[in-house]
Amino acid sequence: MNAILVLEDGTVFEGQSIGKAGRTLGEVVFDTAMVGYQQCITDPSFRGQILTFTYPLIGNYGANSEDFESSMCQAGGVVVREACEEPSNFRLEGGLGEFLEEHGIVGIAGVDTRALTRKLRTVGVMMGAISTDESAAKVLRRIEESPSYDEVDLVEQVSTPTPYEWQPGLTTENAQPRMDSEDRLKIVCLDYGMRESILKNLHAVGCRCIVMPCRATADQVLEEKPDGVLLSPGPGDPKRLTHAVECVKGLLGEVPIFGICLGNQMLASALGGTTFKLKFGHRGGNHPVRDLKTGRVTITSQNHGYAVDANSIEGSGATVSRINLNDDTVEGLECESLRAFSIQYHAEASPGPLDSRGIFRQFVDRIRDPKRWAEIAPEVH
């Protein structure tokens, strides 16, 4: 079956349908990761976006029921150069096309993804749509009549509606009643688009995770008497999340805080900082980040379209702790006096390099020993 991808400027890419027949609309972005396509497609941070993979062959190891980052597929659509038709892997449960069709995701293969990526890098990300049953002119009209990516509250769509305690092997859909554990630190995770691998990493370093909705208030969080709070990644424009910022403001100084990705932007906003939209975002598993305390450079996994304005946090009590070596954007904040810190990249990787997973241990060590907030703590495993 034929399919087309239409961009908001009228550019048309032709290809073949993979996954569900029909149509989808979203912000067209690209990801440079060579592997981990299933984790990307199920990552809540891709909600509302049409995900283009720059690696030319996608699907060579198929898909399975274990590599989900959330309880469902989140990307609005998928664009690939070539979809592998004969995947091979000992964990294989089905091919990419079958996976997309099963989960209702519209995709297109046979696209010149290099040309598409070059366009997005030159012009910037833009709205687009994939269709298997419409003319290009009709698709373009639909794009023009639809709200832009920045106008939609995507965090509300992906956040859990009710609090739950996460346990290994469970998802948000089959979470069980809370189970007390005296030996584990109690961490409240504010869900702006929680990834399963973050919860797994926190559990691995001795944490008990209570996941709360994005609209939870500071009082509701503090009622849980947490040892620490994690601000999760998530999709969309951070400027829309005024309720979440107010919650973080109420938590500052009351409990140790660790923010990841959108959580970094939430911390900056709560401290009085501002954010801005990147031209084409940071999405992939090969972004170099320098720790300004240690000088150490790590290769990181990233997925965000917004960044913190470094100048906006001057005088806030926070300092920039890490920078992206590609464009010098803020990759982390430290606020020792308020026991808060954050990173813009994904320490949990999945997909991506594992260089930064030690930062979960840092969070736990800082909670257990407050003196650690003033120390240099290298990200080691």
Task: Give the pLDDT band (50/70/90) at residue 181.
Answer: low
Task: Give the pLDDT band (50/70/90) at residue 86.
Answer: very high
* 35 vs 4: CA distance, rounded Å: 25
Domain boundaries 155-374, CATH class = alpha beta
Residue 367 near residue 360, CB atoms below 8 Å = no
In 54-150, the DSSP E strands lie at 57-58, 77-79, 82-83, 106-109, 126-131
> What is the average pLDDT score of the chain?
93
Residues 237, 27, 112: CA angle, nearest 5 degrees: 145
| Multiple choice CATH, 2-152, 3.50.30.20, 3.20.20.220, 3.40.50.720, 3.40.640.10 | 3.50.30.20
Mean pLDDT score, 287-293: 95
The pLDDT of residue 366 is: 94
* CATH 3.40.50.880 segments of the chain: 155-374
* 305 vs 235: CA distance, rounded Å: 9
Has 346 been annotated as catalytic? yes
Q: Whole-prediction pTM value?
A: 0.93
* pLDDT tens digits along 208-228: 999 999 999 999 999 999 999
Question: Is 176's pLDDT higher than 50?
Answer: no
Residue 81 near residue 113, CB atoms below 8 Å = yes
* pLDDT tens digits along 32-84: 999 999 999 999 999 999 999 999 999 999 999 999 999 999 999 999 999 99
Has 282 been annotated as catalytic? no
Question: Is 29's pLDDT higher than 90?
Answer: yes
The pLDDT of residue 351 is: 80
* pLDDT tens digits along 156-169: 999 999 999 998 87
Indicate the helix (H) or strand (E) that contains 269. helix 262-270
Question: Is 89's pLDDT higher than 60?
Answer: yes
Tokens of 118: 């070059």
* Residue 85 backbone zone (phi > 0: left; psi -120 to 50: alpha; other: beta): alpha
* CATH 3.50.30.20 segments of the chain: 2-152
- Single out the catalytic residue among 27, 261, 287, 334: 261
